[in-house]
């Protein structure tokens, strides 16, 4: 029995694992024919094999870019329990455990992180993890109270809104509905003179314990985020069991409004904005459990009215409810795998490309798709007046296959800087 664990590229925390009971050979590579499939441009189609030799295992490197142990290239080596190998110098890290499947993977620091078992060959996206988590939830009503331990947030029962004053929710006043979706609702409001955004469930989901539990899960993901380009979560409370999340309100306008009012944006300005987005994504994707936005588009990038932050833009509208119904983001901006419910952090990078295309063309990216195999492919060469180097960067960002894209927000930022 052998277990392989994919580690986060920055934090070296567990992301996904595969357990094999009776296999004599475990193949690792980019091709879907392998037992362990890793979508990375530096990983070969068949990159490495784990081979059982009597009661032990050995790893054999087969990829053109090599396999590394502690920075040294290896060709064939006995496997020791807990060893971490890297596929290519800049590729994914895999930790190997022998014997019984483990549910806590030992990191280099000695800290342990809990994992759930996944089937071999299964490439699990964030949406799939959410779906599995939602399906595992009990269908009984969740506990009435749970606590968010934070200096600025609290979890309590607020007073009911005054039925004669629909402009109040708990201690928030001047409340107005600004967005109503199939699953969630967004309000603006004020408290102690300060503006806030209030997020909650659409009432039709209030009797669904899975929706309530999923809302709480997403709140717990957003709660610790502390970045100048991301609105802070300030308070979590309930009114008659209905959950509300109060978030920092960002004063400004979506950059889509600037395009609508003034036309396309100069390349230098557009790149400057996308560099900010890349820095935000590097922070989000670098969390111990990577945070995906899944709806990056000009409507969700707010240009601040006042320079109260080191960032000109704020990334808003993190989906609080994912996994209950199809909620795939803005049409034309999202990656093809996201349409299929297979979003990964590379899907966010795809949306950086389509957003950049919108800014420098002044037109919706849906106008620049053309038929490719069984689906449509974003084709930046259809945008009039673009330089070849800009087309190349947009083409890499929006490649239909995730493994053909830039593999991190940092890589995207490096490519963008070459354009200006």
DSSP letter string over 268-312?
Answer: HHHHHHHHHHHHHHHHHHTSSSPPP----SGGGEEEESS--SS-S
If asked whether residues 228 and 276 sit together in one domain, one would say no
Same domain? For 294 and 351 the reply is yes
Contacts of 189 (CB under 8 A, 6+ apart): 169, 172, 173, 174, 175, 176, 195, 196, 197, 198
**Sign of dihedral through CA atoms 204, 208, 214, 217?**
positive
Angle subtended at Cα 39 by Cα 217 and Cα 287, rounded to the nearest 5 degrees: 35
Residues forming a β-bridge with 61:
48
pLDDT band at 67 (very low <50, low <70, confident <90, very high): very high
Say if residue 55 is in the same domain as residue 135. Answer: no
Q: How far apart are CA 386 and CA 392, in angstroms?
A: 10
Q: Is 177 helix (H, G, I), strand (E, B) or coil?
A: strand
Residue-range definition of the domain harbouring residue 348: 252-417
The domain boundary residue, chosen from 124, 149, 173? 124
Count of the separate structural domains present in the chain: 3
Domain boundary among 124, 147, 175: 124
Same domain, 164 and 226: yes
- In terms of domains, do 56 and 175 share one? no
- Indicate the pTM of the whole model: 0.64
Decide if pLDDT at 199 tops 70. yes
Please list the residues that pair with 2 across neighbouring strands: 20, 98
The predicted-structure confidence for 347-376, as pLDDT tens digits, reads as follows 999 999 999 999 999 999 999 998 766 568
Rounded (10°) CA dihedral 131, 132, 136, 140 = 0
Which carries the bigger pLDDT value, residue 362 or residue 132?
362
11 and 135 housed in the same domain: no
- Cβ neighbors of 290 (< 8 A, separation 6 or more) are 8, 15, 126, 284, 345
Residue among 296, 271, 263 at smallest CA distance from 393 = 271
- Give the residue from 218, 249, 280 where a domain finishes: 249
Residues 6+ apart with CB under 8 A from 158: 169, 170, 171, 237, 238, 239, 244
> Do residues 280 and 362 both lie within one domain?
yes
pLDDT for 139? 40
Q: Which residue has the higher pLDDT, 312 or 147?
A: 312
Do residues 123 and 39 lie in contact, with contact meaning Cβ atoms separated by under 8 Å?
yes
143 Cβ partners below 8 Å, 6+ apart? none
CB-based burial label for 316 (10 Å; 0-12, 13-18, 19+): buried
Assess contact for 138 and 210: CB atoms under 8 A.
no
pLDDT(73) > 70: yes
CATH number at residue 266: 1.10.510.10
In whole angstroms, give the CA distance from residue 160 to residue 280.
37
Looking at the structure, tell me whether residues 210 and 261 fall in a common domain: no
The two structure tokens encoding residue 211:
């929706």
13 and 118 belong to one structural domain: yes
State how far the alpha carbon of 149 is from the alpha carbons of 110, 153, 171, 179, 223, in Å. 25, 7, 20, 29, 9
**Percent above pLDDT 90 for the chain:** 48
CATH number of the domain enclosing 230? 3.30.200.20
- What is the distance between the alpha carbons of residues 312 and 188, in angstroms, rounded to a whole number? 21
pLDDT (average), residues 137-164: 42
Same domain, 286 and 412: yes
The pLDDT of residue 150 is above 70: no
Burial class (CB in 10 A: 0-12, 13-18, 19+), 151: exposed
Q: Is residue 275 domain-shared with residue 398, that is, in the same domain?
A: yes
Q: Is the per-residue pLDDT at 13 higher than 70? A: yes
Question: 389 and 267, same structural domain?
Answer: yes
Ranked by mean pLDDT, which of 151-155, 161-165, 272-276 comes out on top? 272-276
Residue bearing tokens 């990656």: 335
């Amino acid at each position: 029995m052998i277990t392989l664990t994919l580690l986060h590229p920055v934090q070296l925390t567990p992301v996904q694992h595969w357990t094999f009971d009776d296999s004599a050979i475990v193949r690792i590579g980019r091709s879907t024919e392998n037992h362990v499939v890793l979508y990375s441009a530096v990983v070969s189609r068949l990159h490495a094999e784990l081979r059982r030799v009597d009661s032990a295992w050995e790893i054999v490197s087969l990829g053109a870019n090599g396999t590394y142990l502690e920075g040294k290239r290896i060709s064939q080596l006995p496997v020791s329990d807990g060893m971490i190998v890297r596929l290519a110098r800049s590729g994914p890290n895999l930790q190997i455990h022998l014997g019984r499947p483990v549910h806590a993977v030992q990191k280099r620091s000695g800290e342990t992180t809990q994992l759930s078992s996944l089937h071999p060959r299964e490439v699990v996206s964030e949406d799939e993890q959410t779906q599995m988590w939602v399906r595992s939830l009990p269908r009984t009503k969740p506990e009435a109270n749970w606590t968010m331990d934070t200096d600025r947030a609290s979890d309590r029962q607020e007073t009911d809104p005054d039925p004669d004053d629909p402009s109040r929710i708990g201690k928030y006043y001047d409340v107005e509905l600004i967005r109503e979706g199939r699953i969630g609702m967004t309000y603006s409001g004020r408290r102690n003179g300060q503006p806030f955004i209030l997020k909650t469930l659409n009432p039709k989901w209030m009797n669904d314990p899975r929706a309530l539990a999923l809302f709480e899960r997403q709140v717990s993901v957003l709660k610790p985020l502390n970045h100048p380009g991301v609105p802070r979560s300030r308070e979590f409370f309930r009114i008659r069991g209905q959950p509300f999340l109060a978030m920092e309100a960002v004063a400004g306008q979506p950059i889509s409004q600037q395009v609508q009012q003034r036309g396309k944006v100069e390349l230098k300005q557009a790149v400057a904005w996308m560099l900010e987005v890349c820095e935000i994504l590097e922070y989000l994707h670098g969390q111990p459990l990577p945070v995906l936005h899944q709806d990056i588009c000009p409507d969700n990038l707010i240009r601040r009215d006042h320079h109260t932050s080191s960032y000109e833009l704020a990334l808003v509208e993190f989906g609080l409810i994912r996994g209950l119904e199809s909620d795939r983001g803005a049409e034309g901006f999202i990656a093809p795998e996201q349409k299929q419910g297979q979003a990964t952090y590379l899907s966010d990078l795809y949306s950086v490309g389509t957003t950049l295309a919108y800014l420098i063309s002044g037109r919706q990216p849906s106008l620049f798709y053309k038929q490719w195999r069984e689906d449509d492919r974003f084709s930046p060469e259809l945008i009039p007046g673009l330089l070849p180097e800009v087309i190349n960067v947009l083409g890499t960002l929006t490649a239909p296959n995730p493994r053909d894209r830039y593999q991190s927000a940092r890589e995207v930022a490096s490519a963008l800087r070459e354009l200006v």
